[in-house]
């Protein structure tokens, strides 16, 4: 999904069968998504099912994950890799944002049974705890692992065992990665790319995967040959190759 022309500067997808969904003509979409834009985006992805791997541009468009996930018509678990929790209240009434889409999904989707968060910064997790304190309906449907917990063996085992009977949809914002591995538009986490791949391997080996979306392009430093574009293209290529090489029970092939 192309919102900023950034993928036109990358080549990682050119040897793969893919569907190009152009959204560069849309307004009211950067960071926030107003009602006319929501209708347009839903219309453009309407022919496609949630299966497959979806690249959805900068983290400013992470809310597009909601539109793919709302296509799922059976119980599932959302696994979120992100330096942020995306559980804020929208600053502009009912207008969805890249920082509120997880909350919106929990409020509106009848089949999302749990959200599992991996990699969020401690400050964002503290704010999340304040939100959960007054919302028992959120608390029982949301699990957030601290960065420290990501390096405990028990976390890996819990991730492998938890909800093993339910399929998983993975939403990945590359701002969860450390700066040594990628460059994004937002403040970034400290997860090495190798650790991210290990988590993906655990998920794919132990769960049925409905689909995966990936965002985090550095559109503000867009330009052919620029380091940010080259680094993102390299990470995208590595993730696509890694996901394709993993043994999994189901990742569909008709996504965007």
Domain ranges in the chain are: 51-245
For residue 222, give every residue at least 6 positions away whose Cβ sits within 8 Å of its Cβ, in sequence order, or none. Answer: 4, 5, 6, 9, 228, 229
When pLDDT is cut at 50, 70 and 90, the band that residue 248 belongs to is: very low
Statement: residue 191 has pLDDT above 90? yes
When pLDDT is cut at 50, 70 and 90, the band that residue 224 belongs to is: low
Statement: residue 33 has pLDDT above 70? yes
Question: What is the per-residue pLDDT across 135-188, written as a single tens digit (0 to 9) for each?
Answer: 888 888 999 998 888 888 888 787 777 656 899 999 999 999 999 999 998 899
Torsion angle of C-alpha atoms 45, 50, 51, 52, degrees rounded to 10: 50
Statement: residue 101 has pLDDT above 70? yes
pTM check: above 0.75: yes
Statement: residue 227 has pLDDT above 90? no
Question: What is the per-residue pLDDT across 61-99, written as a single tens digit (0 to 9) for each?
Answer: 999 999 999 999 999 999 999 999 999 876 666 788 998
Across the chain, what does the average pLDDT equal? 89
When pLDDT is cut at 50, 70 and 90, the band that residue 256 belongs to is: very low
Q: How far apart are CA 182 and CA 238, in angstroms?
A: 12
**Distance linking the first and last C-alpha atoms of the chain:** 7
Question: Looking at per-residue confidence, does 235 or 151 come out higher?
Answer: 235
Two structure tokens written together for 236: 């995208």
CATH of 51-245, one of 3.90.1520.10, 3.40.800.10, 3.40.50.12780, 3.30.300.90: 3.40.800.10
Q: What pLDDT does residue 249 have?
A: 47
Mean pLDDT of 49-64: 95
Say which residue the tokens 């979806």 belong to: 54
Statement: residue 214 has pLDDT above 60? yes
Question: What is the per-residue pLDDT across 35-44, written as a single tens digit (0 to 9) for each?
Answer: 999 999 999 9
């Amino acid at each position: 999904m192309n919102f900023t022309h950034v993928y036109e500067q990358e080549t990682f997808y050119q040897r793969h069968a893919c569907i190009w969904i152009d959204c560069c003509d849309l307004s009211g979409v950067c960071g926030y998504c107003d009602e006319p834009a929501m209708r347009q985006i839903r219309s453009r992805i309407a022919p496609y099912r949630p299966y497959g791997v979806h690249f959805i541009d900068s983290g400013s468009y992470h809310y597009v994950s909601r539109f793919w996930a709302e296509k799922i018509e059976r119980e599932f678990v959302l696994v979120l890799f992100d330096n942020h929790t995306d559980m804020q209240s929208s600053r502009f009434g009912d207008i969805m944002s890249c920082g509120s889409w997880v909350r919106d999904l929990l409020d509106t989707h009848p089949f999302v049974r749990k959200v599992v968060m991996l990699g969020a910064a401690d400050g964002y997790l503290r704010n999340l705890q304040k939100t959960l304190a007054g919302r028992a309906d959120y608390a029982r449907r949301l699990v957030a692992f601290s960065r420290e917990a990501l390096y405990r063996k028990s976390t890996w085992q819990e991730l492998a065992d938890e909800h093993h009977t339910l399929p998983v949809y993975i939403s990945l914002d590359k701002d969860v990665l450390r700066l040594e591995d990628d460059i994004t538009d937002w403040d970034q986490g400290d997860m090495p790319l190798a650790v991210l791949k290990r988590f993906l391997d655990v998920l794919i080996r132990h769960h049925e995967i409905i689909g995966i979306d990936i965002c985090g392009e550095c559109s503000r430093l867009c330009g052919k040959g620029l380091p940010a574009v080259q680094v993102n293209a390299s990470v995208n290529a590595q993730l696509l190759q890694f996901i394709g090489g993993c043994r999994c029970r189901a990742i569909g092939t008709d996504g965007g």
